[in-house]
Chain A
Amino acid sequence: MKPLVEINGIGMTYHSLKGETEAIKDINLNISKGEIVGIVGPSGCGKSTLLSIIAGLITPSKGNVLINGKQVSKSNSNIGYMFQKDQLLEWRNILENVVLGLEIQRKLTPEVYDNAKAMLHSYGLGEFISSYPRQLSGGMRQRVALIRTLLLEPELLLLDEPFSALDYQTRLAIADEIGIILKKEQKTGLLITHDIAEAISLSDRVVILSNRPATIKEIVDIKLTCPIGKETPLGCREAPEFRHYFNKIWKELDIHV
Protein backbone atom coordinates (compact mmCIF):
# COMPACT_ATOMS: atom_id res chain seq x y z
CA MET A 1 0.00 0.00 0.00
CA LYS A 2 1.22 3.46 -0.81
CA PRO A 3 2.00 5.48 2.33
CA LEU A 4 -0.20 8.46 3.20
CA VAL A 5 2.72 10.75 3.92
CA GLU A 6 6.05 10.64 2.13
CA ILE A 7 8.84 12.78 3.48
CA ASN A 8 11.64 12.77 0.92
CA GLY A 9 15.12 14.01 1.72
CA ILE A 10 14.08 17.07 3.72
CA GLY A 11 16.83 19.54 4.55
CA MET A 12 16.48 22.99 6.07
CA THR A 13 19.01 25.74 6.45
CA TYR A 14 18.30 29.05 8.19
CA HIS A 15 20.04 32.23 7.26
CA SER A 16 20.70 35.06 9.66
CA LEU A 17 23.23 37.84 10.06
CA LYS A 18 25.42 35.58 12.16
CA GLY A 19 25.63 33.03 9.38
CA GLU A 20 23.72 29.96 8.37
CA THR A 21 22.42 27.20 10.57
CA GLU A 22 21.60 23.78 9.27
CA ALA A 23 18.55 22.71 11.28
CA ILE A 24 17.54 19.53 9.48
CA LYS A 25 19.54 17.24 7.25
CA ASP A 26 18.23 14.59 4.91
CA ILE A 27 15.15 13.25 6.65
CA ASN A 28 13.22 10.45 4.94
CA LEU A 29 10.11 8.98 6.48
CA ASN A 30 6.92 7.35 5.29
CA ILE A 31 3.78 7.25 7.36
CA SER A 32 0.92 4.86 6.59
CA LYS A 33 -2.73 5.67 7.10
CA GLY A 34 -3.91 5.16 10.67
CA GLU A 35 -0.41 5.09 12.06
CA ILE A 36 0.80 7.26 14.92
CA VAL A 37 4.48 8.11 14.78
CA GLY A 38 6.23 9.65 17.76
CA ILE A 39 9.27 11.87 17.33
CA VAL A 40 11.71 12.35 20.18
CA GLY A 41 14.95 14.21 20.11
CA PRO A 42 17.14 16.54 22.12
CA SER A 43 15.85 20.05 22.82
CA GLY A 44 16.30 22.51 20.01
CA CYS A 45 17.10 19.84 17.44
CA GLY A 46 14.60 21.16 14.90
CA LYS A 47 11.53 19.06 15.65
CA SER A 48 9.14 21.98 15.39
CA THR A 49 10.78 23.09 12.15
CA LEU A 50 10.14 19.63 10.76
CA LEU A 51 6.45 19.85 11.68
CA SER A 52 6.14 23.28 10.10
CA ILE A 53 7.62 21.90 6.90
CA ILE A 54 5.23 18.94 6.90
CA ALA A 55 2.34 21.34 7.50
CA GLY A 56 3.44 23.30 4.44
CA LEU A 57 4.05 26.45 6.47
CA ILE A 58 7.74 26.65 5.58
CA THR A 59 9.31 25.54 2.34
CA PRO A 60 12.29 23.27 2.96
CA SER A 61 15.68 24.07 1.45
CA LYS A 62 15.84 20.55 0.06
CA GLY A 63 13.43 17.70 -0.55
CA ASN A 64 9.65 17.60 -0.49
CA VAL A 65 6.66 16.31 1.43
CA LEU A 66 3.84 14.47 -0.31
CA ILE A 67 0.48 13.71 1.21
CA ASN A 68 -1.56 11.28 -0.89
CA GLY A 69 1.01 11.88 -3.61
CA LYS A 70 0.37 15.64 -3.65
CA GLN A 71 2.97 18.15 -2.55
CA VAL A 72 1.93 20.11 0.57
CA SER A 73 1.59 23.87 0.53
CA LYS A 74 0.01 26.49 2.76
CA SER A 75 -3.21 26.55 0.78
CA ASN A 76 -4.02 22.83 0.55
CA SER A 77 -4.71 22.47 4.21
CA ASN A 78 -5.67 18.93 4.96
CA ILE A 79 -3.56 18.98 8.06
CA GLY A 80 -4.52 19.46 11.67
CA TYR A 81 -1.98 21.09 13.94
CA MET A 82 -2.06 20.98 17.72
CA PHE A 83 0.15 23.28 19.71
CA GLN A 84 1.75 23.17 23.11
CA LYS A 85 -0.74 25.76 24.25
CA ASP A 86 -4.34 25.32 23.20
CA GLN A 87 -4.41 28.68 21.35
CA LEU A 88 -8.11 29.15 22.03
CA LEU A 89 -9.20 32.69 21.29
CA GLU A 90 -10.30 34.29 24.54
CA TRP A 91 -12.93 36.49 22.93
CA ARG A 92 -14.77 33.60 21.29
CA ASN A 93 -16.94 31.15 23.14
CA ILE A 94 -16.21 27.43 22.92
CA LEU A 95 -18.51 26.77 19.98
CA GLU A 96 -17.10 29.74 18.05
CA ASN A 97 -13.61 28.51 18.84
CA VAL A 98 -14.09 24.99 17.53
CA VAL A 99 -15.59 26.13 14.22
CA LEU A 100 -12.77 28.64 13.61
CA GLY A 101 -10.97 26.47 11.06
CA LEU A 102 -14.05 25.90 8.96
CA GLU A 103 -14.97 29.56 9.28
CA ILE A 104 -11.58 30.50 7.82
CA GLN A 105 -12.10 28.01 4.99
CA ARG A 106 -15.58 29.46 4.39
CA LYS A 107 -17.26 26.13 5.00
CA LEU A 108 -19.62 27.23 7.75
CA THR A 109 -23.02 25.64 7.39
CA PRO A 110 -25.75 24.79 9.90
CA GLU A 111 -24.56 21.16 9.71
CA VAL A 112 -21.08 22.22 10.83
CA TYR A 113 -22.58 23.77 13.96
CA ASP A 114 -24.67 20.65 14.64
CA ASN A 115 -21.63 18.51 14.11
CA ALA A 116 -19.51 20.68 16.40
CA LYS A 117 -22.15 20.62 19.12
CA ALA A 118 -22.49 16.86 18.88
CA MET A 119 -18.75 16.45 19.17
CA LEU A 120 -18.53 18.79 22.17
CA HIS A 121 -21.30 16.78 23.81
CA SER A 122 -19.65 13.45 23.15
CA TYR A 123 -16.35 14.66 24.62
CA GLY A 124 -17.99 15.87 27.79
CA LEU A 125 -18.00 19.57 26.99
CA GLY A 126 -21.72 19.88 26.23
CA GLU A 127 -22.48 22.29 29.04
CA PHE A 128 -19.62 24.62 28.05
CA ILE A 129 -20.74 25.36 24.49
CA SER A 130 -21.35 29.02 25.21
CA SER A 131 -18.68 29.43 27.90
CA TYR A 132 -15.50 31.37 27.30
CA PRO A 133 -12.09 29.66 27.34
CA ARG A 134 -10.97 31.24 30.62
CA GLN A 135 -13.79 29.41 32.39
CA LEU A 136 -12.34 26.01 31.43
CA SER A 137 -9.51 24.03 32.99
CA GLY A 138 -6.29 23.35 31.10
CA GLY A 139 -7.29 19.79 30.23
CA MET A 140 -10.71 20.83 28.96
CA ARG A 141 -9.16 23.59 26.88
CA GLN A 142 -6.81 21.12 25.22
CA ARG A 143 -9.80 18.86 24.50
CA VAL A 144 -11.53 21.82 22.84
CA ALA A 145 -8.39 22.36 20.76
CA LEU A 146 -8.54 18.72 19.67
CA ILE A 147 -12.18 19.05 18.61
CA ARG A 148 -11.28 22.21 16.67
CA THR A 149 -8.65 20.14 14.86
CA LEU A 150 -10.81 17.05 14.27
CA LEU A 151 -13.73 19.08 12.86
CA LEU A 152 -11.53 19.85 9.86
CA GLU A 153 -11.32 16.10 9.23
CA PRO A 154 -7.60 16.32 8.57
CA GLU A 155 -5.79 13.50 6.82
CA LEU A 156 -2.78 14.03 9.03
CA LEU A 157 -2.58 15.36 12.58
CA LEU A 158 0.57 17.12 13.69
CA LEU A 159 0.90 17.18 17.47
CA ASP A 160 3.59 19.57 18.66
CA GLU A 161 4.08 18.64 22.31
CA PRO A 162 0.37 19.09 22.88
CA PHE A 163 0.39 17.98 26.50
CA SER A 164 3.49 19.67 27.80
CA ALA A 165 1.71 22.76 29.11
CA LEU A 166 -0.55 20.66 31.35
CA ASP A 167 0.12 19.57 34.91
CA TYR A 168 1.24 15.97 35.31
CA GLN A 169 -2.05 14.31 36.28
CA THR A 170 -4.04 16.13 33.61
CA ARG A 171 -1.31 15.35 31.15
CA LEU A 172 -1.63 11.61 31.72
CA ALA A 173 -5.41 11.72 31.53
CA ILE A 174 -5.59 13.89 28.41
CA ALA A 175 -2.85 12.00 26.60
CA ASP A 176 -4.73 8.80 27.31
CA GLU A 177 -8.02 10.26 26.17
CA ILE A 178 -6.60 11.79 23.00
CA GLY A 179 -4.75 8.57 22.20
CA ILE A 180 -8.02 6.64 22.43
CA ILE A 181 -9.81 9.20 20.25
CA LEU A 182 -7.10 9.11 17.58
CA LYS A 183 -7.23 5.33 17.41
CA LYS A 184 -11.02 5.24 17.39
CA GLU A 185 -11.24 7.79 14.58
CA GLN A 186 -8.37 6.02 12.80
CA LYS A 187 -6.37 9.20 12.50
CA THR A 188 -2.85 9.37 11.22
CA GLY A 189 -0.64 11.38 13.51
CA LEU A 190 2.84 12.68 14.05
CA LEU A 191 3.53 13.37 17.71
CA ILE A 192 6.47 15.42 18.92
CA THR A 193 7.20 15.00 22.59
CA HIS A 194 9.92 15.24 25.20
CA ASP A 195 8.31 12.55 27.23
CA ILE A 196 9.70 9.14 26.25
CA ALA A 197 6.96 7.26 28.10
CA GLU A 198 4.32 9.31 26.33
CA ALA A 199 5.90 8.56 22.95
CA ILE A 200 6.00 4.82 23.64
CA SER A 201 2.47 4.59 24.98
CA LEU A 202 0.87 6.57 22.17
CA SER A 203 2.88 5.64 19.08
CA ASP A 204 3.19 2.71 16.71
CA ARG A 205 6.73 3.79 15.88
CA VAL A 206 9.12 6.15 17.59
CA VAL A 207 11.60 8.14 15.52
CA ILE A 208 14.71 9.26 17.36
CA LEU A 209 16.36 12.39 16.04
CA SER A 210 19.98 13.39 16.53
CA ASN A 211 21.35 16.73 17.69
CA ARG A 212 21.35 19.61 15.24
CA PRO A 213 21.37 19.25 12.30
CA ALA A 214 18.58 16.78 12.96
CA THR A 215 18.82 13.44 11.18
CA ILE A 216 17.00 10.21 11.90
CA LYS A 217 19.14 8.22 14.30
CA GLU A 218 16.86 5.27 14.64
CA ILE A 219 13.27 4.17 14.24
CA VAL A 220 11.89 1.90 16.94
CA ASP A 221 8.79 -0.18 16.21
CA ILE A 222 6.62 -0.36 19.30
CA LYS A 223 4.74 -3.58 20.00
CA LEU A 224 3.27 -3.67 23.45
CA THR A 225 1.32 -6.54 24.94
CA CYS A 226 -1.09 -4.43 26.88
CA PRO A 227 -2.85 -5.93 29.92
CA ILE A 228 -6.24 -7.32 28.92
CA GLY A 229 -9.05 -4.87 29.54
CA LYS A 230 -6.57 -1.99 29.72
CA GLU A 231 -5.76 -1.49 26.05
CA THR A 232 -5.44 2.26 26.37
CA PRO A 233 -2.23 4.28 26.15
CA LEU A 234 -2.16 4.62 29.94
CA GLY A 235 -2.87 0.91 30.53
CA CYS A 236 -0.22 -0.07 28.00
CA ARG A 237 2.42 1.54 30.17
CA GLU A 238 2.09 -1.62 32.27
CA ALA A 239 3.14 -3.82 29.33
CA PRO A 240 6.27 -5.90 30.04
CA GLU A 241 8.12 -4.50 27.01
CA PHE A 242 7.63 -0.93 28.11
CA ARG A 243 10.80 -0.71 30.22
CA HIS A 244 12.86 -2.22 27.47
CA TYR A 245 11.70 0.37 24.92
CA PHE A 246 12.19 3.15 27.43
CA ASN A 247 15.80 2.16 28.09
CA LYS A 248 16.53 1.69 24.42
CA ILE A 249 15.22 5.14 23.45
CA TRP A 250 16.87 6.77 26.43
CA LYS A 251 20.22 5.32 25.45
CA GLU A 252 19.80 6.34 21.83
CA LEU A 253 18.90 9.90 22.81
CA ASP A 254 22.28 10.03 24.53
CA ILE A 255 21.47 12.98 26.73
CA HIS A 256 24.29 14.51 28.73
CA VAL A 257 23.45 17.11 31.29
Chain B
Amino acid sequence: MSNKKPSKEHEEYLINLKKKNRNIFLTQISILILGLLLWEVAAHFKWIDTFLTSYPSQIWKLFLTYIKHGNLFYHVGISVMETIIGFLGGTLLGVIIAIGLWWSDFWAKVLDPYLVMLNSLPKTALAPIIIIWVGAGYSGIIVTAITVSIVVTIMNMFESFISVDNDQIKLLNTFGATKLQILQKIIIPSSIPTLINTLKINIGLSWVGVIVGEFLVSKAGIGYLIVYGGQVFKLDIVMMSIFILAVISVFMYKAISILENKFRKW
Protein backbone atom coordinates (compact mmCIF):
# COMPACT_ATOMS: atom_id res chain seq x y z
CA MET B 1 0.00 0.00 0.00
CA SER B 2 1.40 3.39 -0.95
CA ASN B 3 1.09 6.63 0.93
CA LYS B 4 0.76 8.83 -2.12
CA LYS B 5 -2.53 10.42 -2.97
CA PRO B 6 -4.85 7.87 -4.61
CA SER B 7 -5.65 8.40 -8.28
CA LYS B 8 -9.04 9.57 -9.45
CA GLU B 9 -9.87 6.12 -10.74
CA HIS B 10 -9.07 4.60 -7.38
CA GLU B 11 -11.29 7.14 -5.60
CA GLU B 12 -14.13 6.30 -7.97
CA TYR B 13 -13.58 2.61 -7.34
CA LEU B 14 -13.81 3.15 -3.59
CA ILE B 15 -16.96 5.25 -3.91
CA ASN B 16 -18.58 2.61 -6.10
CA LEU B 17 -17.67 -0.11 -3.65
CA LYS B 18 -19.19 1.88 -0.78
CA LYS B 19 -22.34 2.47 -2.80
CA LYS B 20 -22.66 -1.21 -3.56
CA ASN B 21 -22.27 -2.21 0.09
CA ARG B 22 -24.78 0.43 1.18
CA ASN B 23 -27.29 -0.85 -1.37
CA ILE B 24 -26.91 -4.38 -0.06
CA PHE B 25 -27.52 -3.21 3.49
CA LEU B 26 -30.51 -1.02 2.56
CA THR B 27 -32.12 -3.89 0.63
CA GLN B 28 -31.62 -6.21 3.58
CA ILE B 29 -33.35 -3.76 5.92
CA SER B 30 -36.14 -3.08 3.42
CA ILE B 31 -36.97 -6.76 3.12
CA LEU B 32 -37.38 -6.99 6.90
CA ILE B 33 -39.50 -3.81 7.14
CA LEU B 34 -41.63 -4.69 4.11
CA GLY B 35 -42.22 -8.19 5.44
CA LEU B 36 -43.35 -6.91 8.82
CA LEU B 37 -45.47 -4.20 7.18
CA LEU B 38 -47.16 -6.67 4.86
CA TRP B 39 -47.86 -8.97 7.78
CA GLU B 40 -49.39 -6.10 9.77
CA VAL B 41 -51.50 -4.84 6.85
CA ALA B 42 -52.68 -8.36 5.97
CA ALA B 43 -53.78 -8.85 9.58
CA HIS B 44 -55.48 -5.45 9.67
CA PHE B 45 -57.59 -6.15 6.60
CA LYS B 46 -58.30 -9.69 7.76
CA TRP B 47 -56.57 -11.30 4.75
CA ILE B 48 -55.06 -13.74 7.18
CA ASP B 49 -56.44 -15.37 10.30
CA THR B 50 -54.75 -13.53 13.17
CA PHE B 51 -55.67 -16.33 15.54
CA LEU B 52 -53.17 -18.51 13.68
CA THR B 53 -50.57 -15.96 12.64
CA SER B 54 -50.78 -13.13 15.16
CA TYR B 55 -49.31 -9.84 13.88
CA PRO B 56 -46.31 -7.62 14.60
CA SER B 57 -47.96 -4.89 16.68
CA GLN B 58 -49.68 -7.46 18.87
CA ILE B 59 -46.40 -9.32 19.35
CA TRP B 60 -44.68 -6.04 20.23
CA LYS B 61 -47.41 -5.20 22.81
CA LEU B 62 -47.06 -8.64 24.31
CA PHE B 63 -43.29 -8.17 24.41
CA LEU B 64 -43.71 -4.92 26.36
CA THR B 65 -46.15 -6.50 28.86
CA TYR B 66 -43.77 -9.42 29.38
CA ILE B 67 -40.96 -6.98 30.09
CA LYS B 68 -43.14 -4.95 32.50
CA HIS B 69 -44.33 -7.95 34.42
CA GLY B 70 -40.78 -8.99 34.81
CA ASN B 71 -40.74 -12.58 33.81
CA LEU B 72 -39.44 -12.20 30.27
CA PHE B 73 -35.87 -11.60 31.38
CA TYR B 74 -36.21 -14.51 33.76
CA HIS B 75 -37.19 -16.88 30.95
CA VAL B 76 -34.57 -15.53 28.58
CA GLY B 77 -31.90 -15.58 31.29
CA ILE B 78 -32.54 -19.21 32.14
CA SER B 79 -32.38 -20.36 28.53
CA VAL B 80 -29.26 -18.32 27.80
CA MET B 81 -27.59 -19.69 30.93
CA GLU B 82 -28.44 -23.27 29.94
CA THR B 83 -27.24 -22.70 26.40
CA ILE B 84 -23.93 -21.13 27.43
CA ILE B 85 -23.14 -23.87 29.93
CA GLY B 86 -24.17 -26.57 27.46
CA PHE B 87 -22.18 -24.90 24.70
CA LEU B 88 -19.02 -24.49 26.78
CA GLY B 89 -19.36 -27.97 28.26
CA GLY B 90 -19.94 -29.67 24.90
CA THR B 91 -17.09 -27.82 23.23
CA LEU B 92 -14.62 -28.26 26.07
CA LEU B 93 -15.35 -31.95 26.63
CA GLY B 94 -15.37 -32.56 22.89
CA VAL B 95 -11.96 -30.95 22.44
CA ILE B 96 -10.52 -32.88 25.39
CA ILE B 97 -11.81 -36.19 24.04
CA ALA B 98 -10.49 -35.32 20.57
CA ILE B 99 -7.06 -34.68 22.09
CA GLY B 100 -7.26 -38.06 23.80
CA LEU B 101 -8.06 -39.76 20.51
CA TRP B 102 -5.16 -37.97 18.81
CA TRP B 103 -2.86 -39.10 21.61
CA SER B 104 -3.86 -42.74 21.38
CA ASP B 105 -4.09 -44.16 17.90
CA PHE B 106 -5.38 -47.40 19.39
CA TRP B 107 -8.40 -45.79 21.06
CA ALA B 108 -9.11 -43.63 18.03
CA LYS B 109 -9.47 -46.77 15.94
CA VAL B 110 -11.45 -48.61 18.63
CA LEU B 111 -13.94 -45.79 19.11
CA ASP B 112 -14.31 -44.86 15.44
CA PRO B 113 -17.43 -46.95 14.65
CA TYR B 114 -19.13 -45.75 17.84
CA LEU B 115 -18.50 -42.14 16.94
CA VAL B 116 -19.85 -42.67 13.44
CA MET B 117 -22.96 -44.25 14.92
CA LEU B 118 -23.44 -41.49 17.50
CA ASN B 119 -22.89 -38.86 14.85
CA SER B 120 -25.71 -40.09 12.64
CA LEU B 121 -28.05 -40.65 15.59
CA PRO B 122 -30.37 -37.69 16.24
CA LYS B 123 -29.19 -36.77 19.71
CA THR B 124 -32.53 -35.16 20.62
CA ALA B 125 -33.97 -38.68 20.64
CA LEU B 126 -31.86 -39.25 23.75
CA ALA B 127 -33.34 -36.25 25.55
CA PRO B 128 -36.14 -38.14 27.39
CA ILE B 129 -33.66 -40.72 28.72
CA ILE B 130 -31.14 -38.09 29.73
CA ILE B 131 -33.76 -36.10 31.57
CA ILE B 132 -34.93 -39.16 33.47
CA TRP B 133 -31.36 -40.13 34.32
CA VAL B 134 -29.92 -36.72 35.16
CA GLY B 135 -32.97 -35.01 36.55
CA ALA B 136 -35.87 -32.95 35.29
CA GLY B 137 -34.29 -29.56 35.94
CA TYR B 138 -31.55 -27.39 34.57
CA SER B 139 -29.06 -30.20 34.78
CA GLY B 140 -31.06 -32.49 32.48
CA ILE B 141 -31.49 -29.71 29.95
CA ILE B 142 -27.80 -28.77 30.08
CA VAL B 143 -26.71 -32.38 29.60
CA THR B 144 -29.06 -32.63 26.62
CA ALA B 145 -27.42 -29.54 25.13
CA ILE B 146 -23.96 -31.02 25.73
CA THR B 147 -24.96 -34.30 24.09
CA VAL B 148 -26.12 -32.53 20.97
CA SER B 149 -22.85 -30.66 20.39
CA ILE B 150 -20.18 -32.99 21.77
CA VAL B 151 -20.04 -35.61 19.00
CA VAL B 152 -19.67 -33.10 16.17
CA THR B 153 -16.97 -31.36 18.18
CA ILE B 154 -15.02 -34.58 18.69
CA MET B 155 -15.23 -35.53 15.01
CA ASN B 156 -14.37 -32.09 13.63
CA MET B 157 -11.48 -31.48 15.99
CA PHE B 158 -10.01 -34.95 15.63
CA GLU B 159 -10.19 -34.66 11.85
CA SER B 160 -8.37 -31.35 12.07
CA PHE B 161 -5.73 -32.72 14.47
CA ILE B 162 -4.78 -35.61 12.21
CA SER B 163 -4.70 -33.52 9.04
CA VAL B 164 -1.72 -31.48 10.23
CA ASP B 165 1.18 -31.61 7.76
CA ASN B 166 3.42 -34.56 8.63
CA ASP B 167 6.54 -32.59 7.77
CA GLN B 168 5.64 -30.03 10.45
CA ILE B 169 5.58 -32.82 13.00
CA LYS B 170 8.82 -34.15 11.56
CA LEU B 171 10.36 -30.70 11.91
CA LEU B 172 9.50 -30.64 15.60
CA ASN B 173 10.86 -34.15 15.98
CA THR B 174 14.19 -33.00 14.58
CA PHE B 175 14.23 -30.44 17.41
CA GLY B 176 13.68 -33.33 19.81
CA ALA B 177 10.13 -32.34 20.74
CA THR B 178 7.99 -34.44 23.09
CA LYS B 179 4.48 -35.48 22.15
CA LEU B 180 3.06 -32.85 24.50
CA GLN B 181 5.13 -30.16 22.79
CA ILE B 182 3.91 -31.29 19.38
CA LEU B 183 0.37 -30.95 20.69
CA GLN B 184 0.99 -27.49 22.14
CA LYS B 185 3.08 -25.97 19.38
CA ILE B 186 1.57 -27.47 16.24
CA ILE B 187 -1.59 -29.49 16.65
CA ILE B 188 -3.66 -27.08 18.73
CA PRO B 189 -2.63 -23.79 17.10
CA SER B 190 -3.17 -25.12 13.60
CA SER B 191 -6.66 -26.28 14.63
CA ILE B 192 -7.82 -22.87 15.88
CA PRO B 193 -9.72 -22.09 12.64
CA THR B 194 -11.55 -25.42 12.91
CA LEU B 195 -12.27 -24.72 16.56
CA ILE B 196 -13.85 -21.39 15.68
CA ASN B 197 -16.02 -22.98 13.00
CA THR B 198 -17.04 -25.65 15.49
CA LEU B 199 -17.97 -22.95 18.00
CA LYS B 200 -20.25 -21.37 15.41
CA ILE B 201 -21.94 -24.71 14.73
CA ASN B 202 -22.19 -25.50 18.44
CA ILE B 203 -24.05 -22.29 19.28
CA GLY B 204 -26.92 -23.46 17.08
CA LEU B 205 -26.72 -27.06 18.29
CA SER B 206 -26.74 -26.08 21.96
CA TRP B 207 -29.89 -24.05 21.38
CA VAL B 208 -31.49 -27.12 19.81
CA GLY B 209 -30.60 -29.14 22.91
CA VAL B 210 -31.88 -26.48 25.30
CA ILE B 211 -35.17 -25.87 23.50
CA VAL B 212 -35.88 -29.59 23.18
CA GLY B 213 -35.02 -30.09 26.86
CA GLU B 214 -37.29 -27.25 27.85
CA PHE B 215 -40.11 -28.62 25.69
CA LEU B 216 -39.92 -31.79 27.74
CA VAL B 217 -39.60 -30.70 31.33
CA SER B 218 -39.03 -27.07 32.16
CA LYS B 219 -41.06 -24.62 34.15
CA ALA B 220 -39.20 -21.67 32.70
CA GLY B 221 -37.19 -20.66 29.66
CA ILE B 222 -37.89 -19.75 26.06
CA GLY B 223 -38.68 -23.36 25.16
CA TYR B 224 -41.19 -23.40 27.97
CA LEU B 225 -42.82 -20.20 26.64
CA ILE B 226 -43.11 -21.74 23.19
CA VAL B 227 -44.75 -24.92 24.47
CA TYR B 228 -47.03 -22.97 26.78
CA GLY B 229 -48.05 -20.59 23.98
CA GLY B 230 -48.78 -23.53 21.71
CA GLN B 231 -50.85 -25.35 24.30
CA VAL B 232 -53.08 -22.38 25.13
CA PHE B 233 -53.27 -21.38 21.46
CA LYS B 234 -51.67 -18.02 22.07
CA LEU B 235 -49.46 -17.99 19.02
CA ASP B 236 -48.26 -14.45 19.71
CA ILE B 237 -46.27 -15.88 22.64
CA VAL B 238 -44.72 -18.46 20.33
CA MET B 239 -43.90 -15.83 17.70
CA MET B 240 -42.38 -13.49 20.28
CA SER B 241 -40.22 -16.29 21.66
CA ILE B 242 -38.95 -17.16 18.23
CA PHE B 243 -38.05 -13.52 17.52
CA ILE B 244 -36.17 -13.33 20.80
CA LEU B 245 -34.36 -16.58 19.99
CA ALA B 246 -33.35 -15.26 16.60
CA VAL B 247 -31.96 -12.03 18.05
CA ILE B 248 -29.99 -13.78 20.81
CA SER B 249 -28.55 -16.34 18.38
CA VAL B 250 -27.30 -13.56 16.12
CA PHE B 251 -25.63 -11.83 19.07
CA MET B 252 -23.90 -15.04 20.16
CA TYR B 253 -22.72 -15.70 16.62
CA LYS B 254 -21.38 -12.14 16.44
CA ALA B 255 -19.54 -12.62 19.73
CA ILE B 256 -17.72 -15.61 18.24
CA SER B 257 -16.85 -13.65 15.11
CA ILE B 258 -15.25 -11.00 17.31
CA LEU B 259 -13.32 -13.73 19.10
CA GLU B 260 -12.24 -15.06 15.71
CA ASN B 261 -10.82 -11.71 14.61
CA LYS B 262 -8.92 -11.45 17.84
CA PHE B 263 -7.35 -14.89 17.52
CA ARG B 264 -6.60 -14.93 13.83
CA LYS B 265 -3.99 -12.24 13.75
CA TRP B 266 -1.92 -13.92 11.07
Query: Which residues of A line the B interface, CB within 8 A?
Result: 52, 55, 57, 74-77, 79-81, 83-85, 87, 89-93, 100-101, 103-105, 132-134, 152
Residues on A with C-beta less than 8 A from B168 are: 87, 89
Contacts of B190 in A (CB 8 A): 89-91
Report A-chain residues with C-beta under 8 Å of the C-beta of B192: 91
Say which residue of A81, A93, A105, A152 sits within 8 Å of B170 (CB atoms). Answer: A81
Known contacts A83-B171, A87-B171; 11 further A-B pairs (Cβ under 8 A): A57-B170, A74-B176, A75-B176, A77-B175, A83-B170, A84-B167, A85-B167, A89-B190, A91-B190, A103-B185, A104-B181
Q: Does the CB pair A104–B266 fall under 8 Å? A: no
Is residue B99 within 8 Å, beta carbon to beta carbon, of the partner chain?
Answer: no
When chains A and B are docked, how far (Å) is the Cα of A134 from the Cα of B264? 13
Distance from B190 Cβ to chain A, minimum over Cβ atoms (Å): 7
The answer on a CB contact under 8 Å between A55 and B165 is: no
Cα A152 to Cα B174 in complex, Å, equals 11
How close is B250's CB to chain A, nearest CB, in angstroms? 28
Query: Which residue of chain A has its CB nearest to the CB of B192?
Result: A91
Interchain CA distance A89-B190 in the complex, whole Å: 8
Decide if A105 touches B175 in the complex (CB within 8 Å): yes
- Docked pose: A134 CA to B266 CA in angstroms: 8
Chain A binding surface, main DSSP class = loop
| CA A92 to CA B185, docked complex, whole Å | 10
Q: Which of B161-199 contact A (CB under 8 A)?
A: 165, 167-168, 170-177, 181, 185-186, 189-190, 192
A-B contact pairs, 11 of them (CB 8 A): A76-B176, A77-B174, A77-B175, A80-B174, A83-B171, A89-B185, A91-B192, A92-B266, A100-B175, A104-B175, A134-B266
CB <8 Å contact, B176 and A105: yes
Task: Report how far A100 CA is from B165 CA in the complex, Å.
Answer: 17
Find out whether the CB atom of A101 lies under 8 angstroms from the CB atom of B167. Answer: no
In the complex, what residues of A have CB within 8 A of residue B172's CB?
Answer: 100, 104
> Please, how many angstroms separate the alpha-carbon atoms of A89 and B186 in the complex?
8
Q: In whole angstroms, what is the CA distance A85 to B265 when docked?
A: 22
Identify the closest chain A residue to B176 (Cβ): A77
Question: Which residue in chain B gives the minimum CB-CB distance to A83?
Answer: B167
- Which residues in A have their C-beta under 8 angstroms from that of B165? 85, 87
Minimum CB–CB distance from A206 to chain B (whole Å) comes to: 24
Which residues of chain B have C-beta atoms less than 8 A from A57's C-beta? Answer: 170, 173-174
- B174: chain A residues at CB < 8 Å are 55, 57, 77, 79-81
Q: Which residues in B have some Cβ–Cβ distance to A below 8 Å? A: 165, 167-168, 170-177, 181, 185-186, 189-190, 192, 265-266
A134 CA to B265 CA, complexed, in Å: 12
A138 to chain B, nearest CB (A): 16
Task: Flag if B167 contacts A152 (CB, 8 Å).
Answer: no
> What chain B residues lie within 8 Å of A55 (beta carbons)?
174
Q: How far is the CB of B231 from chain A (nearest CB, A)?
A: 52
Smallest distance from the beta carbon of A253 to chain B beta carbons, Å?
Answer: 26
Q: Which residues of B sit under 8 angstroms from A52, Cβ to Cβ?
A: 170
Report the minimal beta-carbon distance from A151 to chain B, rounded to whole angstroms: 11
Select B171's contact among A74, A81, A105, beta carbons within 8 Å: A81
| Cβ B175 vs Cβ A101 within 8 A | yes
In the complex the two chains form, what is the Cα distance from A74 to B171 in whole Å?
A: 11
* Contact, CB under 8 Å: B175 / A91: no
Q: A55-B174, A81-B171 are in contact. Are A91 and B189 (CB under 8 A)?
A: yes
A103 to chain B: closest residue by CB:
B185
**Distance (whole angstroms) from the CB of B124 to the closest CB of chain A:** 37
Residues on A with C-beta less than 8 A from B186 are: 89
CB distance from B199 to the nearest CB of A (A): 17
User: Whole-angstrom distance from the CB of A17 to the nearest CB of chain B?
Assistant: 15
Beta-carbon contact of B173 and A132 below 8 Å: no
* Contact yes or no, A89 B189, CB < 8 A: yes
Chain A residue nearest to B172 (CB atoms) is A104
B195 to chain A, nearest CB (A): 12
A75 and chain B: residue at smallest CB distance: B176
Q: A100 contacts which chain B residues (CB < 8 A)?
A: 172, 175, 185
Residues of chain B with a CB closer than 8 A to A132's CB = 265-266
Sort A-B residue pairs by CB-CB distance and give the 3 closest, nearest first: A77-B176, A104-B175, A81-B174
Least Cβ–Cβ distance between B153 and chain A, in angstroms: 21
- When chains A and B are docked, how far (Å) is the Cα of A52 from the Cα of B174? 9
B171 to chain A: which residues have CB within 8 Å?
81, 83, 87
Nearest CB in chain A: distance from B188 CB, A: 10
A82: min CB distance to chain B, Å: 9
Complex Cα spacing A100 to B181, Å = 11
Q: Complex Cα distance A85/B166, Å?
A: 12
Knowing A81-B170, A83-B167, the reply to whether A91 touches B266 (Cβ < 8 A) is yes
Q: How far is the CA of A80 from the CA of B174 in the complex (A)?
A: 7
Q: Which residue of B lies closest to A90 (CB)?
A: B266
A87–B174 CA distance with the chains assembled, in angstroms? 13
